[in-house]
Amino acid sequence: MGFFDTLGEDLATAMRRDPAARSRLEVLVGYSGMHALWMHRLTHALWLRPGFRLPARLLSQSTRFLTGVEIHPGAAIGRRVFIDHGMGVVIGETAEVGDDVLIYHGVTLGGVGPRTGRRHPIVGDDVLLGAGAKLLGAIEIGSGSAVGANAVVLQDAPPNSLVVGIPATVTPRAPHRSSGGGLPSR
């Protein structure tokens, strides 16, 4: 997809996901979660080019300062991801986020120690990550799942799971249509 196609898709996603969004212009200029995602696309492209990792990190840290959202340039982020009220979101270097994921404020996709290799979560498509959820380690959250607010997730969850609690427990969840984390479309 080209730049303007991607921008249009992102704006449409925000309008569909956030009932408070009044216009595409409002989202374009006033949604820090969107700004963080747009800058991540740039920093990720730099990260993948030899010799550009330092500039990618510096730009991602500047974005963190401006938006309150920290996404490591090495993280892989899918399409139609929406970060709502993004303050405090942290996404680590080896994290992978699928398509149509809804992320609320305070979510962490973090590691659990100084090991090398994959050390951050993989989040499938069409997942909801509730406010304050902490997903830690090289775990996988299956597509169609919902992680409750403030859950501390230390284990894998199969597709269509409900993940809640401290530490989180995993229970089956009724499958739903792809509308982004099981929420109704606007």
pLDDT tens column, 6-24: 999 999 999 999 999 999 9
pLDDT digits (tens, 9 = 90+) for 80-90: 999 999 899 99
Report the alpha-carbon angle 89-41-18, nearest 5.
50
Q: pLDDT digits over 80-132, tens only?
A: 999 999 899 999 999 999 999 999 999 999 999 888 899 999 999 999 999 99
Query: What pLDDT digit, counting tens, does each position of 152-177 carry?
Result: 999 999 999 999 999 888 998 887 65
Tokens of 22: 């009044």
Element (H, E) at 94: none
What pTM was computed for the model?
A: 0.90
What pLDDT score was predicted for residue 185? 44
| Average pLDDT score over residue span 53-58 | 97
Q: Which domains does the chain have, with CATH numbers?
A: 3-172 (2.160.10.10)
Helix (H) or strand (E) holding 44: helix 32-48
